[in-house]
Amino acid sequence: MTRAPYACDPQRSRGRRVSEPTAPTRSEFQRDRDRIIHSTAFRRLVYKTQVFLNHEGDLFRTRLTHSLEVAQLGRSIGRSLGLDEDLIEAVALAHDLGHTPFGHAGQDVLDECMKAHGGFEHNLQSLRVVDKLEQRYPAFDGLNLSFETREGILKHCARRNAQRLEQLEPGGVGARFLLGQQPNLEAQLCNLADEVAYNAHDIDDGVRSGLLELEQLESVPLVQNYLREALAAYPALKGKRLLAETIRRMLSEQVYDIIDATRAAIHASGVASVDEVRRAEVLVVFSPAMRSASTELKRFLFAHLYRHPQVQATRQRAEQVLRDLFRIYAQDESQLPQEYREASSAEGLHRACADYIAGMTDRFAIREHQKLTGLTLF
Ligand code: MG
């Protein structure tokens, strides 16, 4: 597949914050992907919660396997659209690097603890990880990734944060939030592939954990269609094979839907360059019917899985762990490791505490909490 004119071209990248000689054998986006895979933050994703805690079962998704599934879906769709697969993979593998332990519970607690100190946003934290917190290179902090990869990592950004970024880096990755523009198509695709991935794997994990029943899902139109199709093709199918076949059919249809709807949107917009993509509407889309079906599925998962009493109970304990840790470090900075104590003089103690806690894996946070408070919550 040849590169489409609206795809990002690594040879025409806006470049890195610190300029570096080009690599002899790899494109700039391949290099970004490789740097992400070798980072410490990437390895930590294996012990970070998506919905279920890592220790609740060996076969549930973690942030790492989630990120791999987003990369797979993104590359698969991107290849059909003539987009840059290396860039898609880089953005997908990095999109959750800033996630706290314990999933969204952690994000909310840190944001609350940081209320008077600039707040906490996991998207902005992902950018902070690749721009600053990774310490591997002699010449710069972070991974010094290409503009296009960083643009994709910063999916959302509150206006005040975008203004702050714009001051530090005029015309940089914060600018589009102030101008109301879009990121490149590879980034837009990762955003939608993220939704496709978690909807599907949360159904899978939800049923396998016993918190959801396959029968309950019959009330969700999107799932119901594929469940019926699977049973029509294989009337005796049941249990985990029925679940897998239903999800497989749902994933395929969503992939085809995105390819068709996006092709049509690109064609209708007439975009012929990345800059025109940035000035256009969002172009990587579901068809209207699939958009409403996916939103309905999200609503179902919210009500029946993310709000399930068992998930909520875990969430409350996770919140306490992180709230206690933040209070302890903020009161007594000698409890922080040396590098975070040093960082606190430049960035403020509270930001150093947030960076340290956000980087923890679930089990490290649990152990650290136990050590500092004597309480066993998990
Ligand atoms: Mg994600």
CA of 92 to the centre of ligand 1 (A): 8
Q: Please choose, from the candidates 256, 306, 321, the residue with its C-alpha nearest in 3D space to the C-alpha of residue 286.
A: 256
CA distance 94 to 77: 18
CA of 236 to the centre of ligand 1 (A): 35
Provide the pLDDT for residue 103. Answer: 87
CA–CA–CA angle 336, 342, 348 (5° rounding) = 85
170's CB contacts (< 8 A; 6+ apart) are none
CA of 270 to the centre of ligand 1 (A): 30
* In the block, residue with structure tokens 């839907």: 257
pLDDT tens digit sequence for 118-143: 999 999 999 999 999 999 999 999 99
* In the block, residue with structure tokens 């690109």: 266
Give the residue extent of every domain in the chain. 25-311, 313-373
* CATH class given for the domain over 25-311: mainly alpha
CA of 130 to the centre of ligand 1 (A): 16
106's CB contacts (< 8 A; 6+ apart) are 99, 100, 318, 322, 357, 358
CA of 375 to the centre of ligand 1 (A): 31
CA of 25 to the centre of ligand 1 (A): 30
pLDDT at residue 59 is higher than 90:
no
CA of 338 to the centre of ligand 1 (A): 31
51's CB contacts (< 8 A; 6+ apart) are 60, 61, 103, 202, 205, 206, 305, 306, 311
Q: Please choose, from the candidates 163, 7, 168, the residue with its C-alpha nearest in 3D space to the C-alpha of residue 88.
A: 7
CA of 102 to the centre of ligand 1 (A): 13
Provide the pLDDT for residue 55. Answer: 64
Region of 15 (left: φ > 0; alpha: ψ -120 to 50; beta: rest) is left
Complete DSSP assignment for 250-272: HHHHHHHHHHHHHHHHHHHHT--
CA of 68 to the centre of ligand 1 (A): 10
CA of 95 to the centre of ligand 1 (A): 6
C-alpha distances (whole Å) from 223 to each of 232, 300, 301 are 14, 11, 12
CA distance 243 to 202: 12
pLDDT tens digit sequence for 250-278: 999 999 999 999 999 999 999 999 999 99
pLDDT tens digit sequence for 152-195: 999 999 999 999 999 999 999 999 999 999 999 999 999 999 99
Length reported for the chain: 378
293's CB contacts (< 8 A; 6+ apart) are 221, 222
CA of 333 to the centre of ligand 1 (A): 32
Q: Which amino acid is at 137?
A: Y
Provide the pLDDT for residue 2. Answer: 87
CA of 205 to the centre of ligand 1 (A): 15
Q: Which amino acid is at 40?
A: T
CA of 332 to the centre of ligand 1 (A): 33
Model's pTM, two decimal places? 0.96
Residues, beta carbon < 5 Å, ion ligand 1: 96, 194
Mean pLDDT on 291-298: 97
